[in-house]
Amino acid sequence: MHAKHLAAVVVLLGACGRPAGVPSPSPIPTAEAVGPESNVEALLAGLSTRDKIAQLVVPWIPGTYAAYDDDGFERAEAWVDSLHVGGLIVSVGSPLDVAAKLNRLQRRSRLPLLVGSDFEGGTSLRLNGGTLFPPNMGVGATGSDSVAYDVGRITALEGRAVGVQLCFAPVADVNNNPANPIINTRAFGEDPEQVGRMVAAEVRGLQDHGMLATAKHFPGHGDTETDSHVALPVISSSWARLDSVELVPFRAAIAAGVDVVMSAHIALPALDSGRVRPGTVVPTILTGLLRDSLGFHGLIVTDALNMAGVADAYGAEAGVRAFLAGADLLLQPADPGAAIDAMARAVARGEITPERLDRSVRRVLEAKKGLGLFAGRTVSLDSIPAVVGSAAFERDAAAIAQRSIVMVKDSAGVIHGLGRARPGLTLVTYAEEENRTVGLALAAELRARGFGVTLARLWPASGAASYDSAASALRQNTTALFATADRPIAGRGSIGLPAALAALVAHTAQERPTVLVSLGNPYVLSGLPEVGSYLIGWRSNALIERAVARALAGAAPITGRLPIALPPSYPRGWGLQRRVP
């Protein structure tokens, strides 16, 4: 675009759509007399120090519907109108609600907003109605780089349709610790090379289709038993171990041209002269290792700065410490205004130099320019239903889900016999209370395929009466089917089945033909040696539950292979294969 056209667009977009009674901000500096390559420099030169700092701050907003005079929405408007923040991270909501909210805020913003979201394993994690996929570990079970690319492709197209340009994915962690309470199925697997291939493929899928990809959580969050949302994990691995395992996928992402890398709030004493502090604030990690050694020249974004792993130690100063360590974008501070104030004080006392500040702001403005946001920052609401959750995307996702299913064991042939015998089944499901639909699609698909299904449902809060009721339901049929949706949840700090459920599964497996299906944490089998038939579906959503039902009924092949080892008996790459005649 020619400089004069860009200048006109910037001025028009800075003012359009402003509601009555809202004062116009001071004009954005223009660059009418310079070439296109100098527009960012002209914009940068025209920003005050405080506005430069604000360009680096990315607060969190909900994606749910809100009236314009809602307190929460007015707070977000104030961040845009008064603080002049450079971006936002948007959470769960419907595609239309998210897009309408972002359009409104984009129109009010002096400079276009860089909007990010946690689209791990597709947009459905944040967009109600987004295309459903298996999580990364399920993608890893397909063994296909092209599947990872397609997940990135569809995610980018759906995300851009609602006004999100920055995807906080893919996860580049190597999940080599079965007790990890926060990564688990969010990782592609435990083999660094395979994870690296999948990460690189998803990066290309995202960025080929107009969305910035983020490799996270640098330098690797896979080998920890602590959730950084609630405390500071410490990884005591040596440099040699980190170099040969954790860093491999990040090298692959950088080689694939990843635009963004996210820091992890984990302590790595081997990289920090024995100190125990979050890597997000360590210059030798973000600058020395990531920038200098690995040669990454894109944007570095912090993980959320309100997480206990960093907030407990530094409070509002966390952003300053992260910036000095090498970060560019300060994600989700507890108080955006306080974060800007802290950065401004650091500039005033000379701790942050103007040159260092300009380097980060320049990267942010260049990213916005590269995304085309100065040419158009809003999206068409009418076009969203033609993209998000489209039938074509759903067909692709259904094929991926079917390929992700892994049959780990079937020692008594129960799974192999289901398709022929069509026995009556008692399906017992377990999930967090908010996952109210778990098992419903599985039961419906099995019934449609000729199975009689009795459904019993358990939750973390279920007591003795609920377990007695489930045991009674199990006695009504010859075959038992358990579907567990244990999964990593931020802030919970642990993972695994409750003792009462494990005891019920073990007891049932000794009494009658029993199949255990994991719709989440795959490691649950390790504590249940009594189970003779085990299938992994990776996530509890309707798409995958239907794929599991087809696999159980013998209507679809089972071709997935473990991207992780399941102690004590099943190595990475294991998977019983079943073809359909």
Give the sheet arrangement for strand 166-167, strand by strand.
60-61, 87-90, 114-117, 166-167, 212-218, 260-263, 299-301
Residue 114 CB contacts under 8 Å (≥ 6 apart), including other chains? 58, 86, 87, 88, 165, 166, 329, 364, 367, 368, 371, 373
Report residue 350 as tokens. Answer: 């000379």
Catalytic option among 150, 173, 303, 486 = 303
* Separation between Cα atoms, residue 542 and residue 437, nearest integer Å: 8
Catalytic option among 229, 259, 396, 486 = 229
229 is catalytic: yes
Mark residue 137 as left, alpha or beta (left: phi above 0; alpha: psi -120 to 50; beta: remaining): alpha
**Adjacent-strand bridge partners of 518:** 484, 536
- C-beta atoms surrounding 494 within 10 Å: 12
Q: Which residue has the tokens 């960093």?
A: 310
Q: Is 147 helix (H, G, I), strand (E, B) or coil?
A: helix
How large is the greatest C-alpha to C-alpha distance in the chain, in angstroms?
82
Residues 142, 144, 147, 152, CA torsion sign: positive
Burial 273-300 (b: 16+ CB within 10 A, else e): eeeebbbbbbebbbbebbbeebebebbb
486 is catalytic: no
Active-site residue list: 229, 303
